[in-house]
Structure 1
Amino acid sequence: MTLPFDSLQTLRQQLTRRAFFSRTSAGMGAAALASLDQSVGASAVRGLPGLPHHPPKANRAIYLFMSGAPSQMDMWDHKPAMEDWFDKDLPESIRMGQRLTTMTSGQSRFPIAPSIYSFSPHGEAGTMASELVPFMAKKVDEIALVKSMYTEAINHDPAITYICTGNQLPGKASLGAWLNYGLGSENENLPAFIVMTASWTGRKEAQALYNRLWGSGFLPSKYQGVALRSAGDPVLYLSNPDGIDRSVRRRMLDSLAELNLATAERLGDPETNARIAQYEMAFRMQTSVPELTNISDEPKHILEMYGPDVTVPGTFANCCLMARRMAERGVRFTQIFHRGWDQHGTLPKDLPNQCRDVDQPSSALLSDLRQRGMLDDTLVVWGGEFGRTVYCQGKLTKTDYGRDHHPKCFTVWLAGGGVKGGVVHGETDEFSYNIVKDPVHIRDLNATILHLMGIDHQRFTYPFQGLDQKLTGVEESRIVRQILT
């Protein structure tokens, strides 16, 4: 007997490996249905059994990601000795044959470009900060400044993928997805992981950001980040189509859920359950997201604290205010990407604009969280994917220069839940080129973030392709305890 094509397709789908195991005594299909209660409804707050591994210092995190790599020696890593090195070549004893990008590998010279920005001491410890960050300079007693970050990646896309997912190659789960998977949500009406991409006023060209940076990789798709947009619907397809009211949509979802449940029971595909959960979350978000994004209830003094751009949707200031509102509502992990930090040329023109975008709002976010009693259990992280070279790329003058990518050292800061304020960790050489004390790999940063959220990075795994996958990979990683309370 010859079966029609559509019947063959159905048979083939029903004989998949996943479907086969769903019919064995292991009962994967039944297990999938049983787990549905953890995806939909009030029990959406649940994470994995046994987590957190230890009492967390932070219940939520906000990651301010400066995409493009901020120049550490123009903002936080003061190198006054470079004044005497203007236009002199970086010594080979410092560069030591280290890898270069194709953008400067062809240069015959590597002329030193001292920062043109003045630095001054701040806080009880006299921490040096640039004139470009006057608001955050006043916060040095509240932050841990890590000057000795490093990575192996030298180009933007693999470097951002690396720090966000633990691997330079696409396909791994992002930090936010791991936290969502392990710890669950504190609010059933908003996603546990929300992403925003802020506008910027620096150089117009900027590196593309791909959704794998907030994707779930091998984890079920329900754990991926939800992108909040600044124009139109805050979330795609959140509004009902013309002619469809909320009650009609509710009936449609109920009918669709019945079909999906039947499919899940027949095939045991966990992605079917994820789809049901996502539809239900979208329905609840029709009410919760408009309330979240309506800032008309914010007092005038709060808006002024974030700066003049706070009422403009999509600005970094507006995103920081949104992040605080999300934290109040139990969003587990919020990540704000701010692009335009890739200053290969005309750095003195573009970097001040970038810093103006983020300096006051970042400071205001810390103040806002603190005055609401939330900073003690909210972790805030600021940083990019790598640093920038002390030598100039292209034309160098006393007032104009550019800098190339530099993975050997860069600066990040952390504040809030479990982080010791007023700490400067790590040192670089006089050229801000090599680390001379307390190196911190990006894996160590991720291990530390997980630790503060109550998770042992060594025990936090997910089986995939025959391996117990970890955010921190198989290489050695450590918690940076020197910056913790």
Structure 2
Amino acid sequence: MLERRALLQIGGSSFLGLGLSNLLTRQAQASDAPRHRAKSVVLVFLTGGGPHIDMFDPKPESPEIKGDYEPIGTSIAGIRFTDRMPQMAQRVGKLAVLRSLSHGDNRHLSGSHNTLTGAVQPFRGSSNQDKSLNRADWPSYGSALAYLAPRSDGLPSQVTLPNPLIEGALVWPGQHAGFLGPQHDPFVLKYTPNNDGYQGNPVFKPIKAVSLIGDLDAQRLEQQRSLLTRIKQGQAALNASPSGKRYATQQERAYSMLTSSRLTRALDITRETDTMRDRYGRHYYGQTLLLARRLVELEMPVIQCNMGRVQTWDTHVDHFGRLKNMLPYLDTGVSALLDDLDERGLLDQTLVVCVGEFGRTPSISPLAGQTKPGRHHWAHGYTAIVAGAGVRGGQVIGKTDRKGAYPVTTPYHPNDLGATIYNALEIDLATNIPDRLDRPRPLNDGEVIEPLYTGAPT
């Protein structure tokens, strides 16, 4: 017999085109999916779309596709990376190379929403403004976790660093709790670099309260909180309303974060030795990933590391010139993270995913009016690196054609990557979450990428 929750889902999902048979199939698949437990997920996001062919899926047999880089062997026979990723090449035994990611959305904003939430963004129109951050969107991974398994220790379920993804009036979707409401939003940092933006000591400043502002110390904060409490005692009528209760909850949550010495200490990167900071690289990719390791030690469930300030990897112009520093920085930082987690006994409980919203075109060509060529948006076939939390290292899953354009094996969708992340966090994939009209919506309609764990051919 169907439970009431399932019946509600059938009734509420007709507008999604989900029939009873589809629902039962999805629930059965979700229930049968083995659980692969992770205490933390580190999502290394290549904002703008990383060049899979120039990193993890080289195509030397096609001169017009190959580009400037040469293939090199890795620590596992038969697996090749490019010569711009030498450190990760020596750590292939710790990671899986997923070469058959594929979807049909070549747009930055909606593609990012899909990658950061595990769900396709609801259609609101074709312009970028239509796709900007909106409360009608699906929640980020940590936001969904905050709703389904709220913490009682005052800490957030997701920290996003080193910056939010914002470009002018456009705010990238997938960065908050969407229709679940602001009380479940992740905690977002804003990075302020010294000097040229790569070298020197980065300073991480919260844009959503965690460290005390200016000269406001903890004692003064407590005094101000007491004053606010007395004021709020005269606002009982307001606080009794749903909106008032939500505001009070958010205010208490902000206070808990402000005064959490555990989170404040974890975010103080100056507590690391110079040797460790050098190991990750004195650039904001490396220092961001070092901060991620500190948050893993805090057992932060979801840590999103944006490798850039929005479209950093969007190399339409001067592709290889722009990659000159970016690839070595990523190579050093991710390699240090994998080694550091492994040495501390944390890799087995941490799922690390390195991916962009899509890959880049096999062809190399200039845009109109430009002289320096680039690679352009390509969602039809690209690569993710996945490691830790039970993932079987030393393997390649999937294969693209000779051009690196399309999978010739089983394709996997970002929703499947999302299902894998939720499964690692022990979230039932048959779970429903309520939208703003309190209608049940399926959290995710992907399937766990089981070959990551079994090593089975795809």
Instruction: State, as a whole percentage, how many aligned pairs show the same letter.
Output: 25
**Count of residue pairs brought into register by the alignment:** 390
Please tell me the residue identity of whatever aligns with 1:408: H
Please tell me the residue identity of whatever aligns with 1:437: T
Structure 1 segment 21-36 matched on structure 2, within 5 A: none
Structure 1 segment 378-397 matched on structure 2, within 5 A: 378-394=350-366
Counterpart of 2:259 in structure 1 is 284
Would the alpha carbon gap of residues 240 and 123 (structure 1) be closer, same or farther in structure 2, given more than 3 Å must change? closer
User: Aligned equivalents of 2:250 and 2:307: distance in 1?
Assistant: 30
1:376 aligns with 2:367: no
Equivalent of 1:180, from 115, 139, 146? 146
Aligned to 1:341, what secondary structure does the other structure show? coil
Offset at residue 331 of structure 1 (A): 1.4
Query: Which protein shows a greater Rg?
Result: 1
Please tell me the residue identity of whatever aligns with 1:293: L
Offset at residue 459 of structure 1 (A): 2.5
Offset at residue 147 of structure 1 (A): 0.6
Would the alpha carbon gap of residues 242 and 417 (structure 1) be closer, same or farther in structure 2, given more than 3 Å must change? closer
Offset at residue 283 of structure 1 (A): 3.4
Please tell me the residue identity of whatever aligns with 2:74: H
Normalised by the length of structure 2, the TM-score is 0.77
Offset at residue 259 of structure 1 (A): 5.5
Counterpart of 2:70 in structure 1 is 118
1:175–1:214 contact (8 Å) kept in structure 2: no
String of CA shifts for 1:42-81, please: whole Å, max 9, x gaps: xxxxxxxxx9x98552011110000011111111112122
Would the alpha carbon gap of residues 436 and 266 (structure 1) be closer, same or farther in structure 2, given more than 3 Å must change? closer
Structure 1 segment 22-421 matched on structure 2, within 5 A: 56-83=36-63, 86=64, 113-165=65-117, 166-169=119-122, 170=134, 171-172=136-137, 173-185=139-151, 188-197=153-162, 210=171, 212-231=173-192, 234-236=205-207, 238-240=211-213, 245-255=220-230, 258=233, 262-267=237-242, 270-285=245-260, 287-309=261-283, 315-339=284-308, 340-394=312-366, 401-421=373-393
Aligned to 1:432, what secondary structure does the other structure show? coil
User: Aligned equivalents of 1:198 and 1:463: distance in 2?
Assistant: 27
Offset at residue 296 of structure 1 (A): 3.7
Offset at residue 150 of structure 1 (A): 1.1
Would the alpha carbon gap of residues 425 and 213 (structure 1) be closer, same or farther in structure 2, given more than 3 Å must change? same
String of CA shifts for 1:88-141, please: whole Å, max 9, x gaps: xxxxxxxxxxxxxxxxxxxxxxxxx43220111212343111111111111111
Root mean square deviation of aligned Cα: 3.1
String of CA shifts for 1:336-380, please: whole Å, max 9, x gaps: 112311111211101122112211111111111111111101111
String of CA shifts for 1:310-345, please: whole Å, max 9, x gaps: xxxxx1111111111111112111101123111112
String of CA shifts for 1:135-161, please: whole Å, max 9, x gaps: 111111111111110122111112112
1:423 aligns with 2:395: yes
Structure 1 segment 466-477 matched on structure 2, within 5 A: 467-473=439-445, 477=446
Offset at residue 175 of structure 1 (A): 1.9
2:58–2:66 contact (8 Å) kept in structure 1: no
Would the alpha carbon gap of residues 260 and 279 (structure 1) be closer, same or farther in structure 2, given more than 3 Å must change? farther
Please tell me the residue identity of whatever aligns with 2:266: L
String of CA shifts for 1:252-299, please: whole Å, max 9, x gaps: 3433554566534344765234323323324324x4444223334323
Would the alpha carbon gap of residues 262 and 414 (structure 1) be closer, same or farther in structure 2, given more than 3 Å must change? farther
Aligned to 1:218, what secondary structure does the other structure show? helix
1:198–1:338 contact (8 Å) kept in structure 2: no
Long gaps (5+) in structure 2? 1-30, 123-133, 193-202
Would the alpha carbon gap of residues 469 and 213 (structure 1) be closer, same or farther in structure 2, given more than 3 Å must change? same
